Each structure stands twice: as structure tokens, then as C-alpha cells.
Structure 1
Amino acid sequence: MNTPRFSTTRHSDFSKTLRSRVNAYFKTNNISKHANKSMVSKTVFMLFVFFAPLVLINTGIIHHALLLFVLYIISGLGMAGIGMGIMHDAIHGSYSKNRKVNKYLGYTMNLIGANATVWKIQHNVLHHTYTNIQQADDDINVPFFLRFSPHARKHRVQKFQHIYVWFFYSISTLLWITAKDFVRLHRYKKMGFLNKKGEYRREMLKLIGWKLIYYSYALILPLVMAPLSPGLIILAFLGMHLVTGLCISSVFQVAHIMPATEYPLADGDGIIENDWFMHQLATTSNFSPGSRFFSWLIGGLNYQVEHHLLPNVCHIHYRKISHIVMQTAQEYGLPYHMKKTFVSAVADHMRMLRQLGRTEIGTATS
């Protein structure tokens, strides 16, 4: 894998100042960077929202199709809450200072049908390190009918991607639980990951095992226990994932595929112009900072700038430290992208997708 490197000559004291101020905030207030009681309560709540509807369905007491769909959709919202608000922090190691706690809570990713190992490589390593860099950031390496970077190849079909992309967002978790995890695990091995003796085989066996567990309680048991037609149960199961996929994909993508964000390319020597911290500010955007409930609901991912700069800090603290990050960026003359509402962020995201679908390579710049 040919990976770009970040500049060591063009940098500022921004990162040193930011870390010093954030550390001082936690020390002065005598609080941990990790989860607090509110975060623990949220964890219990999201797990309950995901599992409780499935338990009810699996008892066989649900006789009405409408109630079946409602329960599956509620479970889907819990699934999204687990993905954005529990496993995300745990796999980053920011949920707890105890590695075992992070490891086991990271397995909640497996409980909702995906895979923690694949996610860690895709998200923690490739996306967080090489944000918005074509071919290096796996979040923008998409099939030919989508174009998430101005440096990607353009196809005619992409002209309407800002319309049909929402369908693919909605089926994203369905792809995860069926094919994508297997494809990516194999690809990551070829890229040089999972290169310890027997590691790939072990991870593949674990991936299969976890998926069998997930399908057992989320689909097979309901097919056996629920006194409704198999077609209805499968349709309700698919509906759960459509809700989850749309929620998760929308939240993650509007943080980076935006008119204001940049898509840097490495020079002939494989060097990115900015240092890593400046790069994160240039390629990431916040949204809806005024809504505490929305922020709680989506795991603080409306504060993506803070998350990318300080992934070792639990999301429960993002709102409080965002003022420190914004002020420090302004002092150093660095960008701090933000949209006031989620609706305006989605509108800008659609505008950017439309632009990317209608301009040639390298012309859809920020």
C-alpha cells in the first residue's frame, strides 16, 4: 500500500497549543477524558432500545404486522445509536482508559451485524489518517456510480447521484452485514494488514461466527417464533436496516463531502502539503452545534472537527471543548468549518454531490 505522508516542514504550534488547552480543561474541571455516568446511562439505553424490540418479537407474542414493523424500526434506531454512540468511542479507545472495556464494548459493532476489526482498519486507520485523500481514505472509495472526490474518475451516471445516493445510504448496513465486511477483510489483507501468522484466518472465522449469531436473533428466531408470514418478517428486518443505514451514512458523510472541505493530493514525492492537524481542519466540518438532544442522539458526531483532532476524547465532552478548538483554530488562522443545522448540512452535501457528478476530474474543488 503506497500511503501519502504529511508535511513536516509546513506546520504550526496549533496542535501543541490545542492539546495543552484541552488537557488544562479536563485537569481544571477534575474530569476524565473518557466516559462519565451520563455516557454509561446512554450505553444502557441504546442497548435496551436495540435488544428489547427483538426480545418481544422472539417471544412470539407479536401478532400484528404494523407492530412488527414498529418494533424492528425502533430496534434499527437503537442499532444506529450503538454504532454512533457506543462502539465508535470504544473502538477509538476513548470510551474508557481500560483497554478491555474498550475491546468488549467495541464488540457491540459485531452484535449489530458488522465487524469491529474491519471497521477499525477502515475508519480509525484509513479514514482518520487520510481524510478525503483519494484512494487512501476508504470512506470515499466508492463504486463507479458514485463520486465522492473531485479526483475520482467521472461517469455519466453520476450526474444524478445527489438523488439516488440516498438509496445507497439506506442499504449501507445491509451491505455491511452481507458482503462488504468479507470483501474488505480480504482487501485489507492484500494491503498489508492482518499479516501475522494465521491472523487473517482467525479474523475470517470470527467474522463468520459473529454474523451467524446476529442473524440468529435478528432474523432466524423471528422467522421461527413470530406468528406472521416469513415475507412480512423479512420485509420488517430490511426496514430496520434501511432506517439504520440512512441515519448512519447521512451523519458520517455530511461531515466531509461538503463544498467547504478540501480534497488534497500528494505531490510527486507522496507528501501532503499540510501537517496532519491542519489537514483535519481543512477536510472536516461540524453541523448543528445548537442542538444538545440531536448531538446526544448521534453520539456527538455533529462535532466531527473535535472528533478528528482528538479521537482519544469521549464524544460526551465534544460540546464543551468545541469552543476551545474553534478559538484556537481562529487564533492560528486555520479553518473551522461548521453548518448551523443538520438540514443546511444535508443541503450542502447534496449540492456537493451534484457538483461532483457534473464536473470533470479536478474541477470540483472547494
Structure 2
Amino acid sequence: MKKIYMDYSATTPVKQEVLDAMMPYFTENFGNASSIHAFGQDAKRALESARSTIAKTMGTTPETVYFTAGGSESDNWALKGVMRANKAKGNHLITTTFEHHGILHTCKALEKEGFEVTYLEVDAQGRISLEALEAAITEKTVMISIMFINNEIGTMQDIKSIGEIARKHKVIFHTDAVQAYGNVHIDVEALKIDLMSISSHKIYGPKGVGALYIRKGIKIQNLIEGGAQERNRRAGTENIAGIMGFAKAAELADANLEEHIERLSALRDRLAKGIIESVDYSRYNGHPTERHPGNVSVCFEFIEGEALLLSLNAKGIAGSSGSACTSGSLDPSHVLLAIGLPHEIAHGSLRLSIGDFTTEEDVDYAIEAIKEVVHKLRMMSPLYDRVLGGK
């Protein structure tokens, strides 16, 4: 049976070049970067080289890059660290209703501590109103946290304008760029981003490694107390092998970014067009152009997303109904509800995300498989039977 992976937004395979870059740090270069002997100093030099590589890919300097265990940790540190450290200024944070749960659950935790959170609505394409954002800022607003690209429907926000609004009102701006980093151009200085979360395993690097960009001068609490690692802000022996893999993945992504965007965008449009044109009662979710180059989010009426996923899996196609972090939930996606879809349509969602190893043949096979599976499932639906009966 043909096996096609179309869940790159959940995770990506580790590229061979990345694995090759990691291997020496499991064996001969195994030193602790905090040790003063030669083994430790070799590891320290590797660590700082990786930091410089990643800083360069986002248009900043090495001392602003802090390594973490991934995107969720970076999100938690950004929000909790900034809000707790700036209590004297205010207690108000602004975000949106369709952030990743790494942000939403952190906001709920902060509310329990007495902080106030404003959740901005999004339009039918998943974009916020810049006017509503500016109107929500008060004298007590400390921070704005709005994701760069939505992980489910692929919509990209106007990050530069958000950054300008935040800077104008002297409010700290954080963005969860886990889906954006390595897939679109990012210059934190030009976009006026103060903090940014990124993750390795979304760009063909290893799992369990990420980073938080923190602009110089930002007041933030330490994440973990203990040793002096990460300039005293996140204690714990560094995962040198993982960090070296992350840096190699970032280097490869940056070097091939233009080609990556062009190729994926063409495949994405081919996939979306093929699905929408061949399946009635289907809806393409997200912004039509300002979106992730490899994301296709579709809803099909009269079927359940879980049944669709299982049927596609039987045909060798790996997709998802939304975020991998909530794949065990039977509730409809909070993202799809946020853009105004009713429960019955949101339940029939499918997210296909393509990547560097996706081919045109994969896309065409997926289109035909989806057409066949949706038809089969609808034939078992009493709701669809009523539609046919009315024709």
C-alpha cells in the first residue's frame, strides 16, 4: 500500500544532514558545556556556534537566543515570565481566541493568578482586526501575544503591523512562530517582535528542542533556577546534540527558503483546488493567500472528521483534523469555531500539511482518495441522504 505523509505541521522527519550533524555529540564530542576542560569547551563552542546560526536566520544577535525544550516551553516562559516580571506596570495581556493551546492554557493559568486577559476575535479567514487590537490596549496592558501562523488553518497575521502597534503603545509583543519559522521570511527587528517562540521538530530537526528569542532590555523572570546555563535564565545541562541538529535544520531551511516557499505553495494550491473542485459541500479554511505555504485545511459537510482520518489512513494517507496536541479530543476545533463555523461543519475537518518530501504524485493520489472516501462516508450519512432526496 502506498504511504503518504501529509502531517508536516504536526512534526517532520529528521533530515539526514541534521542527523549527521548530531551524531558526533552523542559520542566523541559528548562534553558538558559548563565544564572547563577541553571536552567541555568543545561542547561550549558548538553550543555558541549553533546559537549564532539560529540568530542569523531570524535577523538578530546570538545573545538574544535562549534554547528551550520546544515551542510550548517557550510560550510558557514568554507569557509567565513577562507578566510576572512586569506586575508593577500592569496585569493585562491581549491574545486571540484561536491561539495554540500552549498560549491559551498559559493564559488561563495566569488568570488564576489574578492577571486579566483579553481574547480578540478573528474574522472568517482567521485574521484579527488591527483596530480592535489597538482599542483593547489599556494603561495596564503589559503584553500582546498573537501567533504568526495558525497551526490548524494556516492563516498568517499581519505581524509587522501588530509589532508597530505594540511598539507605539510601549507594550511587549510576543509571537508564537512555531509554524512560521523556516516556512516564511522572519526578521525580528524589522517586524518589531520582542519575543518569539520557535521549535526544531517543525523544520526537519529533532524533537525536544526549541528556542525563545528575547529582545535586549525585555524584563522577564528566569524559567528554571539552578546553574548558570542560558545566561542564568534557564538552568540545566544543555542538549548539545539536539541543539546542533536544530541549528543544522535552521541553516538548511534558511538556505533553501525561497525555493521551499515556491514549491510548497504550488503543491498546496494544486491540492486545495483538486479537493474543492472534486468534492461538493467542501470549504477551504483560512486566508486564501496570506497563509502557510504547505497548509490545506478543508471542512466537509455530512461526515465526521475522525471517520475521514481513519479511512484515509487505511489508504496510506496520514493527515489530521487539527492540532496534534488535541488529537484525542472529540470536541470540534476551537480554531474552526473561532472563525465562525457551526459545530456540525467543524466536526468534518481535515488538515493536510505538505513538506519537502511531498511530490505531485502524492498530491494527486490524495485528491482521488479524498474524493472516494468522502463519497463513501456520505453514502452512510442520513443527513446527506436527505440532501440527495431533495434534489
TM more than 0.5 = no
Q: Structure 1 length normalisation: TM-score?
A: 0.28
More helix by share: 1
More strand by share: 2
Q: Structure 2 length normalisation: TM-score?
A: 0.26
